[in-house]
């Protein structure tokens, strides 16, 4: 039983290390916390779209902060993993 938990944790960590274009596309339109590779966290943003810059061939995520109008652009190579949020919990608390 203890070995199974360890194997599952290793599998989750390996998945988090490979945050790429396909995983980012699955979060489009959803509210997430973006955990960056430098240890910082961008909290409660909605992934609006994923774009590729044609000149540098780099992928970016356009994010909209909760109840915000401006967008921010985060390079996908700097994102370690994304944590899905449930906004119903925020609405119920106040």
Taking each continuous run of H as one helix and of E as one strand, the counts in the chain are 3, 5
- Asked if residue 27 lies in contact with residue 20, where contact means CB atoms within 8 angstroms, the answer is no
68-75 LR contacts (CB < 8 Å, sep 24+) = 72/42, 72/45, 74/34, 74/36, 74/42
Closest CA to 79 of 13, 16, 22, 27: 16
Determine the pLDDT at residue 78. 92
DSSP 20: -
* The domain defined by 2-93 carries CATH number 2.30.30: yes
Find the mean pLDDT for residues 13-37: 81
Each domain of the chain, given as residue ranges in start order, spans: 2-93
What are the pLDDT digits (tens) for 39-77?
Answer: 999 999 999 999 988 888 899 999 999 888 899 999 999
- Judge if pTM exceeds 0.75: no
CA distance 44 to 46: 7
DSSP 86: -
């Amino acid at each position: 039983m203890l070995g199974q938990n360890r194997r599952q944790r290793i599998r989750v960590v390996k998945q988090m290390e490979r945050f790429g274009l396909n995983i980012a596309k699955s979060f489009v339109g959803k509210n997430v916390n973006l955990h960056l590779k430098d240890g910082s966290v961008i909290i409660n943003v909605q992934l609006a779209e994923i774009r590729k810059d044609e000149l540098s061939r780099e992928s970016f995520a356009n994010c909209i902060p909760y109840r915000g109008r401006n967008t921010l652009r985060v390079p996908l190579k700097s994102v370690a993993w994304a944590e899905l949020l449930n906004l119903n919990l925020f609405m119920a608390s106040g």
